[in-house]
Structure 1
Amino acid sequence: MPKLLLFGPTALEFYEHCTALPSEAVTFAAASRHSLVPYTATVGALQEQFPFLTEPLHFTVAEERDRRQRCAHCHVAPPSLREGLVVPITGDVFAPPPEIALIQGSRGFDLPRIALKGSALCGAFAITRDGHLTGREPLTSPGAVERLSRTHRDLAGCIAVRSAVPWMLPRGASPRELASALALALPTHHGGYGLLRPLLNQRIDVTRRGQPAAAKRYYVADLCWPAQRLIVEYDSDAFHLTSSQHYYDAVKRTTLEEMGYRVITLTSRQLRSLDEMDKVAAIIAKALGRPLRIRTRNHRARQITLWKTLGLLR
């Protein structure tokens, strides 16, 4: 019975929708005990089971002769992958570990796109089949990506991924939250604002000072710079919040401010406007004690490219 081993772009698409990793990985040798050949029938069955996978699908094969398949793009497994582990998805379908999928799928990507893809793997959300968000435990961490990129030096893309690791932000709760954090933190020559990197979804326990206003024992800040006592809260659509959500946000903000934090709200409308984001970034930079100074030539053009990469502009 032929088996399928997803490769790079296709594996990354699967992990975007994956709510949890299987508990037990298997060796490449065990997965490839039977042929790793993507025949038309098996590829069709995979597409029926996972309709969110886009064509052309990419698979890893064990031998050069197995690359000649018209139904998919095939890539021969390098030596380091043959000695590693793969993740069973279902039946006879396997995927490389998330870190390897990122390396394989990053060939030809620039640093911001790799940082975004890596942050998503390190994030606390998945995309359901109907396009909604659901929570999950992160599939990996920047540290694990760093280690695997050094272990699998024979994979094209490992150097590019390793250079993007410092910009991978873990525990993001949504694509827009990641986009806002990367827009603020990425260097100006990549179109960002070059600000200090924030912590995402940082738990802040309520102190005695904040207890009179608090409705909970702790709050979670979207973007947080603990040393500077600064928080940025992302409102996906402030105009469509319910009265209870408005109340919760007001109590949260009051409590955090009473505890000595400055809270800045960032809306989706501001995030999509470069002029508005320039204003917000300047305010954040001043609060961080580092006034915004952009000396990169053609920064607006680079910014437009970055915003498109982050899915903020079409």
Structure 2
Amino acid sequence: MKKFSEFFENWLHQNYYKKVTKIGKEGDFFTAVSVGNLFGTLIAQHFLDLIDKKILTPPLQVVEIGANEGYLSKDFLSALLEFRPELFKEIEFYIIEPHSKLQNLQKHTLQNIDFHHKNSLKECEFENAFIFCNELFDSFSCELINEDKMAFIENFEIHFLAMDDYTKSKCQELKLLKGELSFALEDFFKDLNKACKKFILAGFDYGVLNPNSLSLRIYQNHKIFNPFTSKLQDFFGQSDLTYDVNFTHLYQLCDFYNFKILSFEKQKEALLHFGFEKLLKYTQDKNIKSYENFLQQAKYLFFHFNDKFHFFEIQKA
């Protein structure tokens, strides 16, 4: 019998992602990146706005974590090349990726771009970084909490048994009675703090404040399956496993490390604040086909993703 977090890690990171997962129409689930280049273009526009407001000051290390095939990085960097090519003299680009097959895919996607691979944050020493990620934290291993019990796995069956003292104390800190608890998120913040003298982390994830229910779910061919009523062995390592991030935990960790939360809002609100209307006007004046394409993508980005999809921006100054 093993803790659910070990089972989750084995399922997702030692099997599913390692095999090179297709995302989008041909995969198990969509992300904002699957919609097209509008998402990455708006993040690039936001990045430039942070520089213009002197919240970020070059020279910079620009880093994506969890890049999968590398399309978000490609869209982001293509937009930078369009809007401000002279900035490339002042940035170094990195992707943090532990899986060799995904590294090879990323090299192919970004074959004309000079960038560096790192296996983990533990290998990094960044002076001044802008880090971006999409649906990273909801891929971190987690425990399942139900009152005074936590989940264990035996023969692909979930059993809720008494939790250890450390997990119990963490649940008490977070006032968590039912939901997911990720110690991997704590490890990430520890590594992030150690790896960067200064950073801004811009991320998107599904999550809630003060969770009161279990949100764990399986995605296969764009259908959702309940892991508590499904045969787990039929999905193990072949389908996506995810959950809603506990944003209360995120806030607590920011407080512990004295990181400043610059923004926390629903993703559609964030994309508007990134200058969607400004981008439309710029594109309409320059290329009507790109303008029409962005309008089509916007319909999906703004209305397809539910209100649990949030943007958060964190700073260590």
TM-score (norm. length: structure 2): 0.27
TM-score (norm. length: structure 1): 0.27
Largest Rg, 1 or 2: 1
The structure with higher relative contact order (CA 8 Å, sep 6+) is: 2
Greater share of strand residues, 1 or 2?
A: 2
